[in-house]
Each structure stands twice: as structure tokens, then as C-alpha cells.
Amino acid sequence: MGLMQSHPLLISSLLVHAERHHGDSEIVSRRIEGDLHRYQWRDMARRARQVARVLDDIQLPLSGRVGTLAWNGYRHLELYFGVSGSGRVLHTINPRLHPDQIAWIANHAGDQVLCFDLTFLPLVQAVHSQCPTILYYVALCDQKDLPSDSGIPGLISYESWIEKQPEDYTWPQFDENAASSMCYTSGTTGHPKGVLYSHRSTVLHAYSAALPDSMAISARDAVLPVVPMFHVNAWGIPYAAALTGCKLVFPGKQLDGKSVYQLIEEEGVTFAAGVPTVWQMLLDHMKNENLRFSTLRRTVIGGAACPPAMIQAFQAQYGVEVIHAWGMTETSPLGSLCTLKNKSLTLPADEQMKLRCKQGRAPFGCDFKIVGDDGEPLPWDGKTFGDLYVKGPWVVRDYFPGTEEGALVDGWFPTGDVATIDTDGYMHITDRSKDVIKSGGEWISSIEIENIAMAHPAVQLAACVGVSHPKWDERPIIVVVTRPGMALDKQELLAFYDGKIAKWQIPDDVVFVDEIPLGATGKMLKSRIRQMPEISALREPAAEE
Ligand code: ADP
């Protein structure tokens, strides 16, 4: 055996490091009250210890679940470290889900404490009677802001909950494979499924997230996670931030383009992360107001395919490098990130852009393969597509609470995505297997059809879905929201596809709508789009074609 020290990889050790070595790095949060709260890692660590103390005080058992319904902010961060660090499990719940789904999730997880921002008081009022396991309700606010007649039994303010606790605490040492936190998938197909992360998976993921070919986070960065802390742990940024000691900037609930831009400029943000729909609001605002970034250098965009037009706009107009990333709740979430290899830097600009539009390469820790219907691996030639499987120490083995058979196939997790992988290992998501359009035995990538539409100057948002067809099984339809004040007709958009894809892949129809339904994490909800009356009406197309 090696003769080196053995320390378990615990989330508390990230915080101890941040406090000892980066104690004066700032954490800035836009509060739901609207003002900016500002303190340092050392203050955060002190209050996280008070959280651990209060959980001991109420005798919440090890692995007991603490649910949150909260925006990105400093109190939520204190819970990230105080709950997990003391051996309990932090369960971040997506407040944008339907109340019935929230109650179902809280019951399934067996949450015993629920901490929530006052924004979500009506939600908690609506669901608390359906959540028998929850014993403590904590509002993330000052005592003075606590509503007196909430109707929620024993409701207490977070500040009065932790204030009397001593500020010292010895973080317990335990097996690094112990559970640390959990997230539920959004349940677009059936009930949501619980993914239970461990300290080890979280710390290894944090190391990897900070690497130069991942998000390249360092102590010199000011990092803005626009991606919510309830969306797969804000993609691991809170942990990677403690690991590097960077400055953290939290947007609270104000995710509109104007507020995000203001925060980036005022706080000197160098790196930001979010889903494409949120960045679209930022880019629209900047275009309308003719603004430029003075400090932002890089942004990671993922959670849904990033339209090439967005990558181009960030890079060419604003000098911001886009790192296109792919992942899922089940992969903690980083599964691939697109940064270029040395040999690609000499490629012509358009070739580089093609590469940047892919979802990228596997970080050490999340390997992937594509397989055919027979389960056999397919070649990495950039053309052959198949079902994407992943494995690694931060990939799920089974869903909560666990089963005998687990969730793997021969040790690999089937992602439900369809992808190609090229000779250099760049993975490109063609589609989710349930969104891919099967026309006459050939597959059409809905993402590709959307990306082309999104490059049209009059298109604000576009979704491609398949509708049934008597001859071809399915045909693509493009659903479009136009930019305010811009006109676009069907023929013009269809003509825009000419020469960009094969003729048979061009959508059969264009449907203009005022709004495309977005899911709880800001992604287009294809299932709801398919049910829109305008789309259902197309289900019975004329027989002859
Ligand atoms: P859900 O959307 O089911 O709630 P996740 O947030 O875990 O769950 O989403 C994971 C899925 O999002 C992936 O399986 C994939 O289909 C899609 N996805 C994530 N990032 C990308 C990306 N960069 N490009 C295309 N699809 C993506």
C-alpha cells in the first residue's frame, strides 16, 4: 500500500479550505428584498457551522433530509455546506414544478426540514398539509420579515433559527461515500426520479469542474451561477468555488437581461453559467441597449443545446468564449464540455465554430460510448449516431431509494440521448431519443432544425416537433416565436433552410405562436408543445403527399 495520508473527500473539507486560504474572497447576493448582500467566505463558513449546530440541536439524524425551495443566494449556500458537512442530506427542490409534484418529491425524499425563500410562501402554504414527514419549516429571512399569520405550523425565521448557536463546530469525519445531497429529475416522463449524490462524487466533480478544459475556475475569477442552485447543484459551481476560493455572485430571483447585465458589470464577473433561454434574454437586452461587457470572459452554456447563433454572438460580438456543455441530473451534471484541442486552434474560423457547437469532450471522470440497437459500440467517426451511455465516479448507479437491479446496463448508464462521437472524442448530441423525428425510416435531428431557425434574425425562439404522417410516419414542424416588431412569413423561413440541410429534412410547416412553453429549468417543453392546439390540428395531414 502507498504510504500517504488518507483523508475522506468531504464537502466540509472544501469549506475548511476556502475559509483558511480564501477567507476574504467575497460572496455577493442579490436578495429577494432587492438589495445586495455582501460578505466573505469566512463569514459564510461561520454561519454554515451554526447551521450544522442547529441541526444537531434538533437532533436531525445523520442522512436526515433538509429540503430547500430557494433562489441562488448566501443563505442557500450556507445550507449547501452546513447540511451536507454535518452529515445530513441537502435536497434542493425545483420551485417551478407543479405543487403536487413538489409534495410528491418531498414525501418521496422523506424531507424533515424545509427551508424556503419567502417568494415561495404561497407554495409552502399550498403543500404543507400534504407533507407529513416535514417537522420544521424555516423561512430564509430575518425575524422581522416573518409573516405572523402564515398558517404554517411552527414557522421560524432562518436568522432566529441559527443566531443563538455557537460559531465553532468540529466537522464530523465519515465515509466519503456517504450521501450528501439529492436532486430529482424534472419528470418529463412519469414521476421524477431521485439522484442521491455522495461526498466523494461531489468533491471529485468539483475538482474536475475547475480544470482548464472544463470551466477553468480559479481564485482570480468572479463567478455568476445564473443556473439555479435547484438545477443540479448549480452545475457544481458552489463546490468548485470553495475549492478555488473565487468570488461568487448570486442573482437571486432577478434573471431578466437587465438585472443580470447590471450584476455582471458592477461585480466584475469574469465567468457565468446558464441555460440558453436565460442567455437569450441577456443578449436581447444588450442588443437593444447597444451594450458591451467589460469583464466577462467565459460562459458555460448547457442544459439544452446551445444554438450556434448564440455561440457566434457571444464570441464575435462580445468577445466572450462559450463553453458548450452537456450533462444531466444523473451526471452531477458535467458529462462533457467543449473546449478545443491544440491542433484545432489552427483550423479556419468556421471549422472551429462547428466544433464549438458540439457538446464536447469527456472530462476524466465521465467516460462515454455510443451503442446501436444491439447494444454493440458504434464507431467514433462523427457520423454514426447511437444511444449515449456514460460511466464514472459522479454518474448515478441507481435512483433513490435504490433497487436490486440498479439503473445500469453492463456498468454503463443509458442517458436517453442520441449522439455521434468524432475521431477526436468530441460528442455531439443529435437529440433526445424521444424527440428525434423518424421520417420514412430516416432520423431527423430536431436540434439541427431548431438551430437553423434560431439563426434567422427575426426568430426569437424555435422548437421542432414531429407530427404523425400517413406516408412518412412523422414529419418535422417548426414552431416559432418571432422577435418583437419583426415580420416573418412561412415561405421566407422555409426558404432559409434551402442549402443548409437535405430537402427531405426541411420542416413541412411553420406554426407561429406567441409563446413556447418552458419547463421548470428553462428548457422548451416538447411534450406540451406537441399538445398545443395549433400542433394537434396538424396531426391529420392530407393523405396525399
Ligand atoms: P430533465 O431535463 O430531464 O429535467 P436534466 O436537467 O438532467 O433533466 O436534463 C438532462 C438532459 O438535458 C440531457 O439528457 C439532454 O437531453 C439535455 N441536455 C443537457 N445539456 C444539453 C446540451 N448541451 N445539448 C443538448 N441537450 C442537452
Q: pLDDT tens across 215-262, in order?
A: 999 999 999 999 999 999 999 999 999 999 999 999 999 999 999 999
The per-residue pLDDT for 187 is 64
Atom of ligand 1 nearest to the CA of 429: 25
Q: For 393-529, where are the E strands, in sequence order? A: 413-421, 427-432, 437-439, 442-444, 459-469, 473-482, 509-512
| Cα(114)–Cα(112) distance, integer angstroms | 7
Q: Is residue 441 part of a domain?
A: yes
Q: Is the pLDDT of residue 330 over 70?
A: yes
Which residue's CA is the nearest one to ligand 1's atom 16?
432
- Domain end call among 163, 197, 231: 197
Q: What is the CATH number of the domain that holds 530?
A: 3.30.300.30
Q: Is 415 in the pocket of ligand 1 (CB under 6 A)?
A: yes
Q: Is residue 412 part of a domain?
A: no
Q: Do residues 219 and 271 lie in contact, with contact meaning Cβ atoms separated by under 8 Å?
A: no
Q: Is residue 305 part of a domain?
A: no
How many independent structural domains does the chain possess?
2
Average pLDDT of the segment spanning 322-326:
97
Q: Is 193 in the pocket of ligand 1 (CB under 6 A)?
A: no
Which one is catalytic: 287, 438, 471, 500? 438
- pLDDT tens for residues 416-443? 999 999 999 999 999 888 888 988 878 8
| pLDDT band of 173, cuts 50, 70, 90 | very high
Q: Is 302 in the pocket of ligand 1 (CB under 6 A)?
A: yes
- Which of the listed residues 92, 232, 417 should we mutate to test ligand 1's pocket, taking the one with most ligand atoms within 8 A of CB? 417
- Supply the mean pLDDT for the chain: 94
Which one is catalytic: 19, 78, 267, 330? 330
Q: Is residue 214 part of a domain?
A: no
Q: Is the pLDDT of residue 145 over 80?
A: yes
CA of 100 to the centre of ligand 1 (A): 23
Q: Do residues 341 and 353 lie in contact, with contact meaning Cβ atoms separated by under 8 Å?
A: no
Which residue's CA is the nearest one to ligand 1's atom 9?
328
Whether 438 is a known active-site residue: answer: yes
Q: Is residue 309 part of a domain?
A: no
Q: Is 185 in the pocket of ligand 1 (CB under 6 A)?
A: yes
Which residue's CA is the nearest one to ligand 1's atom 27?
304
Lowest mean pLDDT among 118-122, 239-243, 500-504: 500-504
The per-residue pLDDT for 543 is 40
Q: Which H or E run includes 67?
A: strand 65-69
Which one is catalytic: 133, 354, 443, 523? 443
Which residue's CA is the nearest one to ligand 1's atom 21?
304
| Cα(202)–Cα(234) distance, integer angstroms | 12
Which one is catalytic: 71, 92, 104, 185? 185
Q: Please name every residue paired with 230 in a beta bridge, in sequence order, or none if there are none.
A: none
- Mention every residue, 6+ apart, whose C-beta is less than 8 A from residue 395: 330, 331, 332, 335, 366, 413
Q: Is the pLDDT of residue 34 over 90?
A: no
Q: Is 227 in the pocket of ligand 1 (CB under 6 A)?
A: no
What single letter denotes the amino acid at residue 219?
Answer: A
Q: Is 304 in the pocket of ligand 1 (CB under 6 A)?
A: yes
Atom of ligand 1 nearest to the CA of 186: 4
Whether 442 is a known active-site residue: answer: no
Q: Is residue 302 part of a domain?
A: no
- Domain end call among 197, 219, 247: 197
| pLDDT band of 531, cuts 50, 70, 90 | confident
Q: Is residue 94 part of a domain?
A: yes
Q: Is 328 in the pocket of ligand 1 (CB under 6 A)?
A: yes
- Supply the range of the domain harboring residue 503: 435-544
> What is the pairing mode between strands 442-444 and 437-439?
antiparallel
Q: Is 432 in the pocket of ligand 1 (CB under 6 A)?
A: yes
Q: Is residue 355 part of a domain?
A: no
- Domain end call among 197, 230, 248: 197
Q: Is 339 in the pocket of ligand 1 (CB under 6 A)?
A: no
Q: Measured between alpha carbons, how far is residue 335 from residues 27, 213, 338, 537 in Å?
A: 27, 13, 11, 38
Q: What is the CATH number of the domain that holds 173?
A: 3.40.50.12780
Report the interhelical angle of 74-85 vs 237-244 (nearest 10°): 80
